[in-house]
Each structure stands twice: as C-alpha cells, then as structure tokens.
C-alpha cells in the first residue's frame, strides 16, 4: 500500500515469475526501457500489448509567469510523453471496484443524503465508521435521555442526572470520539434552555443556568453555592404540589432507566468482545486449514457480530460429509468444501468471488452467506472472516446466463437496501 517499488525489487519479482536468473531479468528490463526511450526519442509511439501505449504529444509554445519573480516567460514548444494503459491493465488494476457501475441519480436525492452515503461508501473508512456507529448508539441513548428530560422539564434533579449520564457516556466512548460527543452535548444544553423557557419564571431560568454550568466545573465559588441553595429553597416552596412531585419521580425513573440501558449495552458489548476473541482464534485455525490466505488480519471490533454464531449456522445449513471435532463443548461438524477467507484492504468479496467462482458478480452469495456478520457490503471491516459457500449451494455457474442474471438482480437488491 503506497509503497514505492524500486528497480531491484522489480528485477527480483520478474526473475521469480519467469525462473530466469536475476542477471537476465535485469538485462531485459534495462534493454526494454532503453529500447522504449530510444524509440520515443526517435519520435515513435510505443505500443505494448496488454500493457499500454506510450504516446508523444506536441506541446505548443505558451506564456507563463515565474512563480518566484513574477516575471513573464515563455515555455518553448516541446514533446510530452504520456502513457495510456491498455484495457487489460486498467481493468486489472481497477479490479476491486469493478463491481460498481455508474448510477443515474434521481432528482429527489438531496445533497445531504449523498453526503451521508459518501461517508458509508469507501471501504477504507471502516474503522472510523465503526467508531461512528458506536457513537451513534450512544447518541440514540442520549436521545432517550432527552425524551426523559422533556417530560420533566421543570425539574432540576433529572437534569443533573443527564449530565452525569453524558459524562459516563464520554468515558465509554473514549477520547477519540469526544468530538462527536461534543456534537451531542450542546443539544442537551439546548434542551435545558428550552426547558427553562417552559418554566417561565426568570428565577427558574437562572437556576437552570447555574445547574448547567456547575457540572462543567467552571463556577465553583461561594456565590454560586449560596444562590443555588436559595433558589432551590424557593423552588421547593413553589413546587410542593403533588403534580410536581409526580413529575419529579418520573424524571428520576427515566434517569435510572437510561442508566440501566447504558450499562447493559456496555456489558453486552464487552461480552461480545470476549466471546468473539475466542471465536476468532478458532476461526483463524479454520482459515489456516482451508486456505493459506489470511494476510492482514486485524483484530475485529466489538460491535461486529460474533463469528461463533456463524460457524454454528454454516454447520447446520450445509450437508455434512466429514465430521471434524472442533470444539469440546459443541461438536461442530464441517462440510469438506466450506472455506473461509479474510477480507482485507485489497481483498474484497468481489476478489474472492472471482477467485472461487470465476466471476466477480457472484459476490452476492458470499454476502448472503455472511449476512449476520456483514451489514453493509460496501463497508466490511478488514480482518472479517467470511464463509465461502460451495458453488452448488446457490447454483453458481459462471457459464450459465440465468445464474449470472440472478446474481446481478440480487446485487441490485442488496445495493438498494444499503443506499
């Protein structure tokens, strides 16, 4: 990835593929480029089959400005060499993205929607995205907090409660996502301000502000404490009606509920993480058995779904030929043809499909087989281990037109679902 391949490295790779000696391959490469440049100097275009064409173009004289001195100068006419890759080469290089086609956009799609689409599209953005979804979860929870907030907008205690909630949420999401959380936090403060408006009295308003700024530790002087005490007393006198006390308890209730929700989510994700680690090790053992191709395995994130489940699924779904004892607790049986592969930055479902079935369009079946693990086929975390279903299971045949058509239709369906 973004490495620069030097000449010696190129010589070595040519030597290993042709089984020629390094000397001959070095000589060949040197001669090759000498011949090409000689021919270019003579003014001849050079076309190499399966590679591309080196074209010469005349550039006419033009005026330009010297960037340093600001003087005007003339660039004399010269010939420029450009390289046009052959279709074979261009397609081979573009293979990871070969499955995408140009889509005509309907007028109803707004720019904002496109932006959100763009953020989920590129595969490279996986890690950030996962973090983003995590933040999304938290955001949903804070949303709930807000709901609770609205119902008791005359109360103080729940507000401080929510502040605490957010604080804990901060801790959970970690420093990296502080920025995103920062996006949520102002919304809550806004809510508080709205609540203050609903309260109506000016005194109340003041109280809210003090409450609001207190948890941030900005104003911790005596005046604040005193005035706070006073205001609280006045408020208590005001809100002694039974209706208010009901509101108070309801707010308290909502606070506890959200607290429980957050802690349960945290516990669940921790549970998944440990579970997955175990499953992951097993899966690696599998993939080593079935294929030698697990480069670039990244540690899977907590929120991708446990591989264990998938193992069980595939085991029950497929006819069993040979029983292999895998786990002492659960005797998972495996079909001889079940294969595993690892998604990496340069290895996509389409790459695998091309390798196993001879056509990239059958990636939909790999996706189908691993639906639980992969949510969006455009955004799979590198290191995700996927099951490669046997070709007979879905009737995959690259020479059969109807089979290909079916895969195409399915791909459209899946893409529609993830727009």
Partner 1 sequence: MDSKMLVEILSKRMNRKQEDVEKLLDAFITAVKSRCGELDSVAIPGFGTFEAKKRLERISVNPATGKRMLIPPKITISFKPSALLKNKLR
Nearer to partner 1, 87 or 226 (CB): 87
Name which of residues 114 to 173 contact partner 1 (CB under 8 A): 114, 118, 121-122
Nearer to partner 1, 50 or 292 (CB): 50
**Among 160, 157, 168, 140, CA closest to 252:** 157
CB atoms within 10 A of CB 412: 12
Nearer to partner 1, 5 or 175 (CB): 5
Nearer to partner 1, 118 or 256 (CB): 118
Instruction: Note whether 87 binds partner 1 by CB under 8 A.
Output: no
Measured in residues, the chain has a length of 419
Could you tell me which stretch among 3-11, 149-157, 210-218, 392-400 binds partner 1 (CB under 8 A)?
3-11
Instruction: Note whether 89 binds partner 1 by CB under 8 A.
Output: yes
DSSP single-letter state for residue 303: T
How far is C-alpha 204 from the geometric centre of its chain's CA atoms? 45
Cα gap 42→136, rounded to integer Å: 62
Exposure string for 40-60, b = 16+ CB within 10 A, e = fewer: beeeeebeeeeebebebeeee
DSSP output for 379-419: ---TT-EEEE--TTTTT--TT-HHHHHHHHHHHHHHHHHT-
- Give the one residue of 65, 73, 75, 92 binding partner 1; rule: CB under 8 A: 92
Nearer to partner 1, 103 or 175 (CB): 103
Cα gap 408→57, rounded to integer Å: 42
Minimum CB separation from partner 1 for residue 43, in Å? Answer: 9
Parallel, antiparallel or unpaired: strands 385-388 and 62-65: unpaired
Name which of residues 54 to 83 contact partner 1 (CB under 8 A): 54, 56, 78-83
CB atoms within 10 A of CB 99: 20
- Give the one residue of 21, 23, 31, 220 binding partner 1; rule: CB under 8 A: 31
Q: What are phi and psi of 54, to 5 degrees?
A: -95, 120
Q: What are phi and psi of 222, to 5 degrees?
A: -65, -40
**What angle do the packed helices 178-199 and 126-151 form, to 10 degrees?**
10
Instruction: Note whether 10 binds partner 1 by CB under 8 A.
Output: yes
Nearer to partner 1, 85 or 199 (CB): 85
Instruction: Note whether 271 binds partner 1 by CB under 8 A.
Output: no
Minimum CB separation from partner 1 for residue 108, in Å? Answer: 11
Instruction: Note whether 108 binds partner 1 by CB under 8 A.
Output: no
Minimum CB separation from partner 1 for residue 251, in Å? Answer: 47
Minimum CB separation from partner 1 for residue 40, in Å? Answer: 6
Name which of residues 284 to 343 contact partner 1 (CB under 8 A): none
Cα gap 202→194, rounded to integer Å: 13
- Give the one residue of 103, 108, 401, 417 binding partner 1; rule: CB under 8 A: 103
Nearer to partner 1, 20 or 203 (CB): 20
Structure tokens at 74: 């003339």
Minimum CB separation from partner 1 for residue 242, in Å? Answer: 60
How many residues at the interface with partner 1, by CB under 8 A? 65
**Among 384, 394, 385, 318, CA closest to 359:** 394
Exposure string for 251-261, b = 16+ CB within 10 A, e = fewer: bbebbeebbee
**Residues paired with 239 in a beta bridge:** none
Instruction: Note whether 412 binds partner 1 by CB under 8 A.
Output: no
Nearer to partner 1, 279 or 343 (CB): 343
- Give the one residue of 50, 66, 116, 241 binding partner 1; rule: CB under 8 A: 50
- Give the one residue of 21, 22, 45, 178 binding partner 1; rule: CB under 8 A: 45
- Give the one residue of 1, 67, 175, 417 binding partner 1; rule: CB under 8 A: 1
> What is the contact mask toward partner 1 in residues 248 to 267, using x (rule: CB under 8 A)?
--------------------
Long-range contacts (CB closer than 8 Å, 24 or more residues apart) made by 312-319: 313/372, 314/338, 314/369, 314/387, 318/389, 318/390, 318/393
- C-beta of residue 404 within 8 angstroms of C-beta of residue 359: yes
Binding site for partner 1 (CB under 8 A): 1-7, 10, 13-14, 17-18, 20, 24-25, 27-29, 31-33, 35-37, 39-41, 44-52, 54, 56, 78-83, 85, 89-90, 92-97, 100-105, 107, 114, 118, 121-122, 346
């Amino acid at each position: 990835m973004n490495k620069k391949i030097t000449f010696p490295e190129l010589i070595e790779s040519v030597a290993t593929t042709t089984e020629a000696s390094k000397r001959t391959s070095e000589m060949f490469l040197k001669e090759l480029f000498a011949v090409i440049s000689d021919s270019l100097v003579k003014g001849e275009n050079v076309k190499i089959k399966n590679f591309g064409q080196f074209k010469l173009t005349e550039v006419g004289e033009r005026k330009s400005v010297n960037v340093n001195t600001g003087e005007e100068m003339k660039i004399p006419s010269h010939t420029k060499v450009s390289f046009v890759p052959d279709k074979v080469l261009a397609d081979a290089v573009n293979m990871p993205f070969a499955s995408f086609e140009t889509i005509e956009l309907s007028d109803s799609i707004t720019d904002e929607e496109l932006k959100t689409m763009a953020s989920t599209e590129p595969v490279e953005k996986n890690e950030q995205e996962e973090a983003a979804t995590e933040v999304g979860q938290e955001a949903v929870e804070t949303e709930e907090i807000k709901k609770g907030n609205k119902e008791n907008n005359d109360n103080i205690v729940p507000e401080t409660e929510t502040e605490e909630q957010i604080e804990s949420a901060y801790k959970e999401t970690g420093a990296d996502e502080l920025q995103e959380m920062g996006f949520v936090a102002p919304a809550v403060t806004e809510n508080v301000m709205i609540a203050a408006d609903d309260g109506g009295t000016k005194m109340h308003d003041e109280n809210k502000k003090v409450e609001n700024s207190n948890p941030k530790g900005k104003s911790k002087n005596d005046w604040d404490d005193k005035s706070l005490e006073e205001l609280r007393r006045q408020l208590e006198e005001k809100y002694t009606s039974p209706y208010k006390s009901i509101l108070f308890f309801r707010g308290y209730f909502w606070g506890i509920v959200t607290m429980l929700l957050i802690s349960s989510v945290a516990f669940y994700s921790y549970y998944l993480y440990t579970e997955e680690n175990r499953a992951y090790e097993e899966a690696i053992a599998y993939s080593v058995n079935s294929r030698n191709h697990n480069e670039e395995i990244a540690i899977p994130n907590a929120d991708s779904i446990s591989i264990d489940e998938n193992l069980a699924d595939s085991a029950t779904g497929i006819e069993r030929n040979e029983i292999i004892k895998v786990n002492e607790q659960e005797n998972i049986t495996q079909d001889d043809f079940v294969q595993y592969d690892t998604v990496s930055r340069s290895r996509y479902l389409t790459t695998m499909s091309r390798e196993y079935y001879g056509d990239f369009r059958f990636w939909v079946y790999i996706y189908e087989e691993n639906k639980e693990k992969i949510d969006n086929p455009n955004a799979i975390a590198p290191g995700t281990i996927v099951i490669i279903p046997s070709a007979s299971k879905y009737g995959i045949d690259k020479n059969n037109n109807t089979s290909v058509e079916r895969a195409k239709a399915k791909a459209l369906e899946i893409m529609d679902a993830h727009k």
